[in-house]
A and B are shown apart, each in its own frame.
Chain A
Amino acid sequence: MGELRGFLRYDRAEAPERDPRERIGDTREFVGTLPLAEVRAQGARCMECGVPFCHSGCPLGNLIPEWNDLVYRDRWREASEQLHRTNNFPEFTSRLCPAPCEAACVLEIREGDAVSIKQIERAIVDRAFEEGWIVPQPAAVRTGRSVAVVGSGPSGLAAAQQLARAGHDVVVFERDEAGGGLVRFGVPDFKIEKWAVERRLAQLEAEGVEFRYGVEVGVDLPADELRARFDAVVLAVGSRVPRDLPVAGRELPGVHYAMEYLYGRNRAVAGTAEPAISAAGKHVVVIGGGDTGADCVGNAHREGAASVTQIELLGEPPAGRPDDLTPWPRWPVKLRISYALKEGGERDFAISTTGLSGNGRVREIHWVGNNGVPPFEPIAGTEESRPADLVLLAMGFVGPEPALLDAFGVERDARGNAAAPRYATSVDGVFAAGDARRGQSLIVWAIDEGRRCARAVDAWLRER
């Protein structure tokens, strides 16, 4: 249970970050790791609560009190086992998860005091890889059943790994040229370097998972054929239809969905393709204030944009946790300054884009201020125009691509996601997991969905 009164003795420690001015000069990861002693001191701060809200705040249900304590006690190997018990890819989550666990930590009742859980998680998985504790765990007994997993994002990978470990023959179909989904192609290298993804894919392969890249199910491989060849199919295709911006000038060249830009940047960094979109020397406007938008901003800095502006439809949230709206232990809607904005650029809230204009190419963005809350009444007299050579739409995703679901004949819910209350869709033997099922969400949800879906598939296979 950590150290009695440890939370009074030690302060919270934030993860070290490279200096923004320095880090925009390269594409390497900018978040570092805490020294061992500090990690263990964070473990000491954990009180092993009777009701561990962190554990509930974590969509994966990570056994956080357990491994916090083990780290404090210097029992790293067991910590790694406990961590992997609920989480297939802690090296992804410890880099990419916004850490709702920390928002829910009992110490966070005093805002800003949470145990640095994410750093502990990172330290555990780093140590486990260093020590060679993370090795393939091929199933001892094969079941002879086969499962196709469509999509190699975190959800598909988690499902594939769990199913393979349960002894099933698993093939992952990925339309892109490599595995990892958005972790590989959406998230920039400076947040997660791609060797980390490769390393994990190698483990899956060694556990018997077969990867078929460049195969788009429903196009290259008909759905019926897939169903015929496999006992079960898991659709983990993400929520990849982006939200559009229906304003004049939307069709102009220079206006792109964020993901087009990010895919290009990742391929460029990997050296696998020349980017079609560049921010270099341009006035960049990113519409949308979320993480995807931030990643666009971060990439634009690294490309040497002339200016970067990020605008958000919603009003500016309060600086501290608004206890009347999102009290502890919920995820607080409060002002956060993204890593990318620390690196430069401007930001504005409560902005409604009214149009884009330019001569054959976008040159200006036009907007008006709004009251910050739906339905976003414009405020007269706040109309403004700004130069914009590259406009990136990062306003979220509306759902999975319908064509694939239709190809399988899978029913959709009201929001257009695959309807699969217990992971089984309306089509016998076809399952869905991750963003394709629940809509766009966090990586931790994706992994949890993959795991639970695997359990459902396994149970279904065993019953047959």
Chain B
Amino acid sequence: MKRLGLYDPAFEHDACGVGFVARLNGVPTHETIERALAALEHMEHRGAAGADAETGDGAGILIQLPDAFLRDVVGEELPPPGAYGAGVVFLPCDAGRAAELGQLLADAVAAEGQRVVCWRDVPVDPTVPGPTAAGHQPRIRQLVVAAAPGLDQDAFERKLYVIRRLAERAAGPELAIPSLSSRTLVYKGMLTAPQLSRYFADLRDPRLASALALVHSRFSTNTFPSWQLAHPYRLIAHNGEINTLRGNVNWMAARESQLASELFGEDLAKVLPVVQPGGSDTATLDNVLELLVLAGRSLPHAIMMTIPEAYAGRAEVSPELAGFYDYHGCLIEPWDGPAAVAFTDGRVIGATLDRNGLRPGRWLETRDGWVVLASEAGVLDVEPENVLRKGRLQPGKLFLVDLGAGRIVPDEEVKSVVATRRPYREWYEQEVVRLADLPERAPREAPAEPLRLRQLAFGYTQEDTKVLLAPMAAKAEEPIGSMGNDSALAALSDRKPLLYSYFKQLFAQVTNPPIDSIREAIVMSVRASVGSERNLLAETPEHARQLVIDNPILLDAELEALRQVRHDVFRSHTLDTTWPVDAGPDGLERRLDELHADADAALAAGANILILSDRAVGPGRAPIPSLLATASIHHHLVRAGTRLQAGLVVESGEPRSVHSVAVLVGYGAAAVNPYLMLETLAALADDGRLPDGMTAGEAQRRAVKGIAKGLLKTMSKMGISTMPSYCGAQIFEAVGLAPELVERHFTGTASRIGGIGVRTLAEHTLARHARAYPGTAEELLPVVGLFAWRRDAEHHQWNPETIALLQHAVRAGGWETYEQYAAEVNSDAARRSTLRGLLRFRFPGQEIPLEQVEPAAEIVKRFSTGAMSLGSLSREAHETLAVAMNRIGGRSNTGEGGEDPARYHDERRSKIKQVASGRFGVTIDYLANADELQIKMAQGAKPGEGGQLPGHKVDGYIASVRLTTPGVGLISPPPHHDIYSIEDLKQLIHDLRCANPQARISVKLVAEVGVGTVAAGVAKANADHILISGHDGGTGASPLSSILHAGVPWELGLAETQQTLVLNDLRSRVWVQTDGQLKTGRDVVIAALLGADEMGFATAPLVSIGCVMMRACHLNTCPVGIATQDPELRARFHGQPEHVVEFLFFVAEEARRLMARLGVARFEDLVGRVELLEADDAIEHWQERGIDLSALLRPVAGGERRRTRAQEPGLEAQLDGRLLDVTEGEFPIRNVDRTVGALLSHQVTKCHLEVPRRYVFRGSAGQSFGAWLAPGIELTLYGEANDYVGKGLSGGVLAVRPPEGATFPAEENVIVGNTVLYGATSGRAFFRGLAGERFAVRNSGALAVVEGVGDHGCEYMTGGVVVVLGPTGRNFAAGMSGGIAYVLDADGRFRDRCNQELVGLEPLDEADVELLRTLVAEHEQRTGSVVAGRVLEHWDATLSLFVKVFPHDFKRALAAVSSGGEGFVTTETEDEAAA
């Protein structure tokens, strides 16, 4: 599938189930394959099917080259094993073309001196695949190649690789070669898991034997037919996503010119480019690993280089290993992302997990010599007695099975072997230079040019100093704002915004998770290095010659140290990135050309640090926009193949915010010296404008710290943890830049609506320059009104006029006043700031009478209010919205703060109940009482970020609704900890459907490039409803850079979604809603025409009930009582439901009038009729700026344009069906039985089924066992369970214990997976064995006992009690603001593993002891735990080993409650924004 409209295949994602089976004795058998295929089928639910249910996204298997089988079937004499190879080739159906390409491949074999033995047609059953897949079946043939005499097997493998690359390059995309090796063979296709073995007869053939088998079932966000995108690839199969891909690909391209390998010799040139264009992230990683391995590194070595663990500052990482990682960090940046990668070269097989541990992987070793690893436990039936041990993949750890040695090799051993192959640590220590160690240099003299003039030349404003810089220095973090962004898009602004503003930050949603850069700081790093990189395929001490910088934002003295570095290895060269003003605007482009040449010359002369400096700005010279200079030189050097010879350092007066530094780094800067920002800060300090007499130096250091922190946050939004992988990763979309500009200087960046070119940028720069020169140093900086409306300044859609008119219209002014309001918004505001403002209707000329148009009372039913939580809004405002929406038959949204059960059954209920990452108040009651359950993946104002409700806003009522403690601050994590990938979302949708089969399931996404493919994935994941939010939505508190710079307008996101869904014929199954600054009937009709069935409004209804856009939500001082919990201010609230009703009816009426003119009587007939829109060429300014909306308005064909059918609920097979009829019983269970207990809990809650109910299960439970289990239900599981056990536990009781007959020690083996008890609110849970990562994350009330946990235990917990009777992983209690944990600290190392930012470690008091004893006793009773028995037996002796983890806030709040207070105090601190 090609690019079409806004759809671009580059943004497809995939994820899936992955696994392998291996036989330790290394003897090939067919049983291995059978077992692997069985395991694959049991992961079917992790894959997906498209619009046609029979077409899978892909399934495949990789096995050892089946020597005996091939000898039998090819009918030719084969060379001995190792001296021949076989490949699988996908050829076009057209016989002639297939023959040509086959010949081409055969020619390549011959050209490389090898011999084609024969071709074999792989027998397949073409009737097996679904219709879509069948229509694109390739002709699948196997090619057998004999090695040239005397060639050893490794050399032969290299030859086969060269042959493949030559053929691939020559043939283009028509030819795919899934494998060509003397060691492995791949069978794969666009199939579902069960279809795989039915399709390939070979797989059923008992002669086909292997000692290992790697399998994969794929879930792609899209279903455009592609057979080769199925996994496994040649070396790996992957579950997850590589976030840093764009940068990795650029860097790999840059590396190619330096590649050299003795092993390959001249052949190397034939395989370039290493990365095959158009491949997926997995394919790309596979390409690179393949090269690294064939060039001589072992597979574990290559994996460790590309997916390093978080090793910095960890005592348990040996110095050698840390040295290994440090050293290899100089060779290649991490390929960062949520990844479980299973790999094999046919001799070893293994798997690794990214540093965050964001994908599941469970393994098991049997007594009879089998090892199974899979995304889920229980994919294969193994008798309990046969289990030797069980475990899980751990963050950053390698799991390796060596068939040669016949054993599992422990992580430490593998890594130690690799890390000590060479003296990496010594090499690194010898060669690396740390910036901090360089001799100190005095910063440059401040130039004679007055500060004010230079500020003017760089476009400084009063807001920069007052709103951005002063607060950043004061708080050492980025300032916070609230409400949405209603100012003009950069491309439409009349204020000539800086180039940075045209770049919108991308963020993770659904297919990969963002990271919490604060609470999970252990995985984050801003350390960067500059210098030249060397040949990736070699390793020498000189490879470590890098200059390490701890923080990419350089103070002046640090830059000088760098500039004047007199180290024999480093040489800096400063490039002047200014151009002569008298050369005019065209001079800029010419200067860029000169700079390219200058850079080339500098590199040729041996420079390896290029400093891009605009210090020369003055009356005669204007600064090239620093981002343009940086990106342009970066891409020039990439193209020239010299990029790795030098690091880029930017010395510029322009950057002054987190976003500006982030974009510079994103386009290749290793470090930035924002000298004018530093100078401005110094001036602010000297002028007494910073608090507490802060000195200039202090202000600068604090601001640098603030930016670094913000930079981490910006990286973490995309799930990226380290600077080297963010550098050059281009995680941005350009909005409003000309294609030529982007193509040349920002190569590879999405830019979909065209826009301004270099010349206009130059004109803008010169206009700024003209303000400064000539000018006077006394002149005040301009006021631009970006963060707050100002007259004659940046346009805001919400301004005194529109706010006043709207409020008057709904109170007394009526329709006439509304018309004035709408006219104001539609004609003026929109044209000057939004994309929809540039559109006009194509009225067909035939109106219909207004009476024939659907009444407004029907149209308003399509409206809902935005997700604003109780807590961010006052109770009064929240209920007013709910009442209004119920009265008109629309929907209000709880937001993420839960809902008062008293509201469930009256006019104040919100039909939409949101499920956000914090899961506040998400109980079975809450879920069961919803009409719609909305999974909030992101929020327009701060996509990719979490949030925080400070303790002073959590009063008794808010706390009761959120099921937390008054006065205790609450953190919403950036990701849902049960959604790290698309198949996880599918699982959550299934969970929610079980919890409320009547509710429709909605997924809220935020517009960014690629959201359409994500939406397609969401539709395939069985959601009923997709919300596309614009970037400009509101917030109670968010960092300013996020409000302004993350995400794109809904017009783009919605159109892309509609186009992609229609192309895939998925639109017919889902409703689509959009929101983001919708204000009028015109907005509504445009949204419908672009593809929305429904519309959401948030700010406008708030304005109608009195909001005046104070933007003080984060200060708790809302003077109209809307966004505050202060009782005095809440008393000032005067909004009425009637105001909202009136507003929405006005909007609907305006829409009706447009519909009459469009000749469309029914609203549903508007949906997707994009042909009724066109660009308004009567508006001139945007055309001058080169904006082109044709992609937005592109009609597509494929399927229905609106929803016409329901999704399949898929609940028939639910085990719960059998539980409903009985109140107790025993049942077998396996991993395909997912979400057991939720449907039952729904029935118990809604239909008041009889309790108590007790059930016993035997086997391996599927994911989400016991989710939202209701009070009165007890589940006991003999066996094991997967991820998300006890999710949202709502009062029920869970016990998981090993199977009867098991002989392994329970406390040393994994019994439940990751993210257990996520968002649990009450109930009890007992796990006899180890749990995975993030145990009891966001628990707010459950009591739990477990015998050991992985990393991040009790993260974000706000209530409840957790007892850990064994080891804990790292970062325990991060973000834990409430509840208590008791940890048995047997080895005394708990303190190091606990994140003590929010908690204290204390001895137990009497009440603790009593509680602990009760829980441990119940644990023993319910699970038969040996550990619990021992503890109880030696109670007094063991007691002293327990540590109480007690959050400070919680302790304070409890003390306040016990002393009779309300439990909270109103403090006057600003809200924190986000995690």
Task: Please report A residues at the B interface, Cβ cutoff 8 Å.
Answer: 4-5, 7-8, 47-53, 55-57, 61, 63, 65-66, 81-82, 85, 104, 106-107, 109-110, 140, 323-325, 327-330
Instruction: Determine the distance from Cα of A48 to Cα of B1112 in the docked complex, in whole angstroms.
Output: 9
Q: A5-B1468, A51-B1109, A330-B804 are in contact. Are A106 and B1117 (CB under 8 A)?
A: no
Task: Please report B residues at the A interface, Cβ cutoff 8 Å.
Answer: 462, 483, 776, 780, 783, 787-792, 796, 798-801, 803-804, 807-808, 811-812, 1106, 1108-1112, 1115, 1117, 1119-1120, 1128-1129, 1132, 1468
Indicate if the CB atoms of A327 and B1110 lie closer than 8 Å: no
Contacts of B1468 in A (CB 8 A): 4-5
Indicate if the CB atoms of B800 and A53 lie closer than 8 Å: yes
Contacts of A49 in B (CB 8 A): 788, 1108-1112
Indicate if the CB atoms of A5 and B812 lie closer than 8 Å: no
Indicate if the CB atoms of B1117 and A4 lie closer than 8 Å: yes
Indicate if the CB atoms of B788 and A65 lie closer than 8 Å: yes
CB distance from B467 to the nearest CB of A (A): 9
The one of B790, B1115, B1132 in contact with A55, judged by C-beta atoms closer than 8 angstroms, is: B790
Listed A/B pairs (11) with beta-carbon separation below 8 Å = A5-B1117, A5-B1468, A47-B1117, A51-B799, A52-B788, A109-B1106, A324-B812, A327-B807, A327-B811, A328-B804, A329-B800
Indicate if the CB atoms of A106 and B811 lie closer than 8 Å: no
Contacts of B788 in A (CB 8 A): 48-52, 65
Instruction: Determine the distance from Cα of A52 to Cα of B783 in the docked complex, in whole angstroms.
Output: 14
Indicate if the CB atoms of B804 and A50 lie closer than 8 Å: no
Instruction: Determine the distance from Cα of A104 to Cα of B800 in the docked complex, in whole angstroms.
Output: 9
Contacts of A57 in B (CB 8 A): 800
Instruction: Determine the distance from Cα of A81 to Cα of B776 in the docked complex, in whole angstroms.
Output: 14
Contacts of B790 in A (CB 8 A): 52, 55, 61, 63
Instruction: Determine the distance from Cα of A205 to Cα of B613 in the docked complex, in whole angstroms.
Output: 47
Q: A50-B788, A106-B1119 are in contact. Are A327 and B812 (CB under 8 A)?
A: yes
CB distance from A125 to the nearest CB of B (A): 17
Instruction: Determine the distance from Cα of A53 to Cα of B1108 in the docked complex, in whole angstroms.
Output: 9
Indicate if the CB atoms of B812 and A47 lie closer than 8 Å: no
Instruction: Determine the distance from Cα of A324 to Cα of B1129 in the docked complex, in whole angstroms.
Output: 24
Known A8-B1117, A104-B800, A109-B1132; 12 more pairs at CB < 8 Å: A4-B1117, A4-B1468, A5-B1117, A49-B788, A49-B1110, A50-B787, A50-B1109, A51-B1109, A52-B789, A66-B462, A140-B776, A327-B811
Contacts of B483 in A (CB 8 A): 50
The one of B789, B1115, B1120 in contact with A51, judged by C-beta atoms closer than 8 angstroms, is: B789
Indicate if the CB atoms of B800 and A8 lie closer than 8 Å: no
The one of A7, A109, A330 in contact with B1108, judged by C-beta atoms closer than 8 angstroms, is: A109
Contacts of A85 in B (CB 8 A): 780
Contacts of A65 in B (CB 8 A): 788
Indicate if the CB atoms of B1110 and A47 lie closer than 8 Å: yes
Indicate if the CB atoms of A106 and B808 lie closer than 8 Å: no
- Interface residues of A, dominant DSSP: loop
Contacts of A140 in B (CB 8 A): 776
Please give me the residue from chain B that is nearest to A57 by CB atom. B800
CB distance from B254 to the nearest CB of A (A): 45
Instruction: Determine the distance from Cα of A329 to Cα of B1119 in the docked complex, in whole angstroms.
Output: 15
Indicate if the CB atoms of A50 and B780 lie closer than 8 Å: no
Contacts of A107 in B (CB 8 A): 1119
Indicate if the CB atoms of A50 and B789 lie closer than 8 Å: yes
Please give me the residue from chain A that is nearest to B791 by CB atom. A61
Indicate if the CB atoms of A51 and B798 lie closer than 8 Å: yes
Indicate if the CB atoms of B1120 and A327 lie closer than 8 Å: no
CB distance from A455 to the nearest CB of B (A): 11
Contacts of B1128 in A (CB 8 A): 8
Please give me the residue from chain B that is nearest to A324 by CB atom. B812
Instruction: Determine the distance from Cα of A51 to Cα of B794 in the docked complex, in whole angstroms.
Output: 12
Most buried by A among B787, B791, B812: B791
Contacts of A328 in B (CB 8 A): 804
Most buried by B among A8, A50, A323: A50
Indicate if the CB atoms of B789 and A47 lie closer than 8 Å: no
Indicate if the CB atoms of B1112 and A50 lie closer than 8 Å: yes
Instruction: Determine the distance from Cα of A72 to Cα of B808 in the docked complex, in whole angstroms.
Output: 33
- Interface residues of B, dominant DSSP: loop
Instruction: Determine the distance from Cα of A417 to Cα of B432 in the docked complex, in whole angstroms.
Output: 79
CB distance from B1122 to the nearest CB of A (A): 12
Instruction: Determine the distance from Cα of A51 to Cα of B802 in the docked complex, in whole angstroms.
Output: 11
The one of B776, B780, B789, B791 in contact with A82, judged by C-beta atoms closer than 8 angstroms, is: B780
Indicate if the CB atoms of B1111 and A50 lie closer than 8 Å: yes
CB distance from B1112 to the nearest CB of A (A): 6
Please give me the residue from chain B that is nearest to A69 by CB atom. B466
Most buried by A among B787, B789, B1115: B789
Instruction: Determine the distance from Cα of A61 to Cα of B800 in the docked complex, in whole angstroms.
Output: 12
CB distance from B805 to the nearest CB of A (A): 10
Indicate if the CB atoms of B1120 and A329 lie closer than 8 Å: no
Indicate if the CB atoms of A56 and B800 lie closer than 8 Å: yes
Indicate if the CB atoms of A106 and B780 lie closer than 8 Å: no
Indicate if the CB atoms of B1110 and A55 lie closer than 8 Å: no
Most buried by B among A5, A66, A328: A5
Instruction: Determine the distance from Cα of A63 to Cα of B798 in the docked complex, in whole angstroms.
Output: 18
CB distance from A141 to the nearest CB of B (A): 8
Instruction: Determine the distance from Cα of A48 to Cα of B482 in the docked complex, in whole angstroms.
Output: 13
Contacts of A56 in B (CB 8 A): 789, 791, 799-801
Indicate if the CB atoms of A51 and B1108 lie closer than 8 Å: yes
Indicate if the CB atoms of A106 and B1108 lie closer than 8 Å: yes
CB distance from A72 to the nearest CB of B (A): 13
CB distance from B1326 to the nearest CB of A (A): 48
Instruction: Determine the distance from Cα of A49 to Cα of B1128 in the docked complex, in whole angstroms.
Output: 19
Instruction: Determine the distance from Cα of A53 to Cα of B800 in the docked complex, in whole angstroms.
Output: 6
Q: A49-B788, A53-B800 are in contact. Are A66 and B783 (CB under 8 A)?
A: yes
The one of A50, A104, A324, A329 in contact with B1110, judged by C-beta atoms closer than 8 angstroms, is: A50
Please give me the residue from chain A that is nearest to B802 by CB atom. A51
Q: A57-B800, A329-B804 are in contact. Are A7 and B1110 (CB under 8 A)?
A: no
Please give me the residue from chain B that is nearest to A327 by CB atom. B808
Contacts of A61 in B (CB 8 A): 790-792
CB distance from A225 to the nearest CB of B (A): 36
Contacts of B1119 in A (CB 8 A): 7, 47, 106-107, 109
**A-B pairs with the 9 shortest C-beta distances?**
A50-B1111, A56-B800, A61-B791, A324-B812, A51-B1109, A50-B1109, A51-B789, A50-B788, A53-B800
CB distance from A432 to the nearest CB of B (A): 21
Contacts of A55 in B (CB 8 A): 789-791
CB distance from B745 to the nearest CB of A (A): 35
Instruction: Determine the distance from Cα of A57 to Cα of B789 in the docked complex, in whole angstroms.
Output: 13
Instruction: Determine the distance from Cα of A4 to Cα of B1115 in the docked complex, in whole angstroms.
Output: 8
Instruction: Determine the distance from Cα of A49 to Cα of B379 in the docked complex, in whole angstroms.
Output: 59
Instruction: Determine the distance from Cα of A81 to Cα of B780 in the docked complex, in whole angstroms.
Output: 8
Contacts of A82 in B (CB 8 A): 780
CB distance from A111 to the nearest CB of B (A): 12
CB distance from A114 to the nearest CB of B (A): 12
Please give me the residue from chain A that is nearest to B1106 by CB atom. A109
Instruction: Determine the distance from Cα of A293 to Cα of B790 in the docked complex, in whole angstroms.
Output: 35
Instruction: Determine the distance from Cα of A169 to Cα of B21 in the docked complex, in whole angstroms.
Output: 93
Indicate if the CB atoms of A323 and B1117 lie closer than 8 Å: no
Instruction: Determine the distance from Cα of A329 to Cα of B789 in the docked complex, in whole angstroms.
Output: 15
Instruction: Determine the distance from Cα of A51 to Cα of B800 in the docked complex, in whole angstroms.
Output: 7
Indicate if the CB atoms of B804 and A109 lie closer than 8 Å: no
Indicate if the CB atoms of A323 and B811 lie closer than 8 Å: yes
Indicate if the CB atoms of A51 and B796 lie closer than 8 Å: yes
Indicate if the CB atoms of A63 and B783 lie closer than 8 Å: yes
Please give me the residue from chain A that is nearest to B817 by CB atom. A327
CB distance from B1127 to the nearest CB of A (A): 11
Instruction: Determine the distance from Cα of A94 to Cα of B462 in the docked complex, in whole angstroms.
Output: 25
Indicate if the CB atoms of A51 and B783 lie closer than 8 Å: no
Please give me the residue from chain A that is nearest to B1132 by CB atom. A110
Please give me the residue from chain A that is nearest to B1117 by CB atom. A5
Indicate if the CB atoms of B800 and A106 lie closer than 8 Å: no
Contacts of A48 in B (CB 8 A): 788
Contacts of B801 in A (CB 8 A): 56
Instruction: Determine the distance from Cα of A7 to Cα of B792 in the docked complex, in whole angstroms.
Output: 28
CB distance from B860 to the nearest CB of A (A): 25
CB distance from A43 to the nearest CB of B (A): 15
